[in-house]
Amino acid sequence: MNNIRLSTVQQNIVSFDDGALLVKASAGSGKTRVLTERIKRLIKKTNRKILAVTFTNKAGEEMKERLGNLEGVGKKLFVGNFHGFCQQVLENHGKLIGLTNLPHIFEDETDRLELIAQAIENTPSYYNQYITLNAKEQRELRYKVLDFISKSKRNLLSEEDLLNRYENQELVLLYSSYQDILSSQNAIDFDDLILLSYSLFIENPKIAALYRRTYEYICVDEAQDLNYAQYQLLRSITSNEYKNVMMVGDPNQSIFAFNGSSADFMTENFVEDYQPTVIELQENYRSSKAVLQAADRIIPNTSNNFNNTVIEGIFEIHKMDNEQTEALWVSNKINELIHLKHHRDIEGEITYEKIAVLARNKYVFKELTNVFEQNIIPYFYKITPGSIKFESKLMKIFELSFRVRVNPKDSLHWIKLLNMINEKDVGSLSDLALVLEKNEILEAINVILGLKDDGSNFKSSLEKFKVSISENDKLNDDNEKKMILNDIKELLEHWHEYDKKTDKRSLLQFKTSMALGKTHPLSQKNGVTLSTVHTMKGQEYDIVFLLGMDDETFPDYRAIRSGGTEMIQERNNAYVAFTRSKRFLYVTWPQIRLMPWGDYKHRSISRFIREMS
């Protein structure tokens, strides 16, 4: 990797000095590569710091890994996503906006929806209508309110702005009620992290100036994914006189519009506000000719130079009778490739780890995983890093108790905990320990009560707990025991990741780091990767299967209904899927699909594929 010779255009980006820079780069053109090389150079050059914003923790970690043990990396560079950066801003200066205790993050959507239900209950005018609705309508309404709150925050609107702007004052009342509940539990959501940091910079220009002085250079990767709040946050730090901002992105890979992202912040606002030098990177270094020609038929003229590509590669489209035959075909093809071992287009031996199966949504994998299990093909789901999703009941109880331990005001999870163990009228974790009979639940609670705030006995306590569970003869459900042990192992892996990256440890900070997805072990798992396209952003595999390319699955039926931006995003999504492949790309679609409500439906080929021919 380090021996790669950069092209002249890539070199120009790496050696770019002061001023604003916009790098518009198509898929596989080496964006991440040049960004890393430029940061490497700037670290050596500057006495101050560099802020590198990535959109996924994985991208950040990869960047750190590529920078290796270069002197100064630890001290001179902040790499992370916006949420991680804001968390640090609030940790250091939150007091200035009244945050005496650092709030806890409620990262799960299901938790936030529950708070919405509480907020509705607290708002009588709304509640009276709400209870007349059926369960499905109530659920839709909770989502609608959550969406309204999230959108308002992403547009940096204060409650006062909302009151002036919206006729539907009840929605605004719900917003206030939701915020009150959050703050009574000393909690915030992800959108608040950005909103609060933005307010902090706007209300305290001296702090913004301090950040300007601290960070001599700011680099934003995947800048096509910026949303309004993130862009304004950057503006609030940089103000008008600061120009050393670099943005790198690809408008054709913009696929998060549903989160308020738009490539316009990079291609229009940034250009207008900072007047950057613009450099385009178009040569694709990743993919074979076959893959590039196919991608070019999804979105034409993105990477013009594929005629120079020497590796031929494979692109095939296969029509299947139904989902079973589709899954079987993929599984057989994988076996065939594995047995082949070598192919002149692929460097090294063909292994399961070089293969990914992508789909528009995770439901498409159902048949495939059955067939993989029967044919003993190892696989794993790639998930967006976040908190651990424990499988065993005991560790779910552990997790709820841990949340309450680090945030005693967290009544949402406290009530969930009591419901889960059928207890009521208990006020605290230590009281709970007094009323529980002697079993593994009590043991879990005692482990949590025994943890020191600075986390110094976290590892040893969890290891002891693990031994005790494995020796517990009363746990006679072998499956549950296995799940508990797996869950503890996973928790310890997260602790390990946290521990190795942190100097000043604490239980609270560990919980926050998990919520921010910073503690996910990066190690590649064994087997074929299954992933939705959104989760596969920025990754590459030698062999890619794109499963379920029937119309209304990909593009998604809702996008077809809405048209406009949503369909552009769907096409971008297909483009991202195609360009993840380095060498071989196989697209499949079933002519009959089992629908979620239980009947079979005839399908036609995805319009994106049909239009290619």
Please give the residue ranges that form the binding site for ligand ATP (CB under 6 A). 1, 4-7, 10, 25, 27-33, 250, 253, 285-286, 538, 540, 579
CA–CA distance, 86 with 489 (Å, rounded to integer): 30
> Which residues are within 8 A (CB) of 248 and not within 5 positions of it... i.e. 6 or more apart?
22, 23, 25, 31, 34, 35, 219, 220, 221, 222, 223
- Beta carbon of residue 39, minimum distance to ligand ATP (angstroms, whole number): 13
- Beta carbon of residue 512, minimum distance to ligand ATP (angstroms, whole number): 28
- Beta carbon of residue 7, minimum distance to ligand ATP (angstroms, whole number): 5
Q: Is 26 annotated as a binding residue?
A: yes
- Beta carbon of residue 524, minimum distance to ligand ATP (angstroms, whole number): 15
Pick 28 or 84: Cβ nearer ligand ATP: 28
CA 309 to each of CA 258, 564, 576: distance values in angstroms, whole numbers, following the listed order: 35, 34, 19
Pick 80 or 538: Cβ nearer ligand ATP: 538
Pick 38 or 416: Cβ nearer ligand ATP: 38
Pick 286 or 518: Cβ nearer ligand ATP: 286
- Beta carbon of residue 532, minimum distance to ligand ATP (angstroms, whole number): 16
Pick 3 or 128: Cβ nearer ligand ATP: 3
- Beta carbon of residue 281, minimum distance to ligand ATP (angstroms, whole number): 7
CA–CA distance, 279 with 341 (Å, rounded to integer): 40
Are the C-beta atoms of residues 355 and 530 closer than 8 Å to each other? no
CA–CA distance, 52 with 35 (Å, rounded to integer): 9
Q: Is 28 annotated as a binding residue?
A: yes
Using DSSP's 3-state secondary structure scheme, residue 346 falls into strand
Pick 54 or 401: Cβ nearer ligand ATP: 54
CA–CA distance, 375 with 483 (Å, rounded to integer): 24
CA 49 to each of CA 41, 75, 182, 198: distance values in angstroms, whole numbers, following the listed order: 12, 8, 34, 20
CA–CA distance, 600 with 413 (Å, rounded to integer): 41
CA–CA distance, 570 with 568 (Å, rounded to integer): 5
- Beta carbon of residue 252, minimum distance to ligand ATP (angstroms, whole number): 9
Pick 265 or 398: Cβ nearer ligand ATP: 265
- Beta carbon of residue 52, minimum distance to ligand ATP (angstroms, whole number): 14
Q: Is the peptide bond before 300 cis (omega within 30 degrees of 0)?
A: no
Q: Is 27 annotated as a binding residue?
A: yes
Which residue is at the shortest CB distance from ligand ATP? 30
Are the C-beta atoms of residues 80 and 57 closer than 8 Å to each other? yes
Residue burial 323-347, b: 16+ Cβ < 10 Å; e: rest: bbbbbbbbbebbeebbeeeebebbe
Q: Is 25 annotated as a binding residue?
A: yes
Q: DSSP letters of 20-53?
A: -EEEEE-TTSSHHHHHHHHHHHHHHH-SSEEEEE
One-letter identity of residue 498: Y
Pick 29 or 179: Cβ nearer ligand ATP: 29
Are the C-beta atoms of residues 355 and 529 closer than 8 Å to each other? yes
Binding residues: 25-32
Binding site residue list for ATP: 25-32
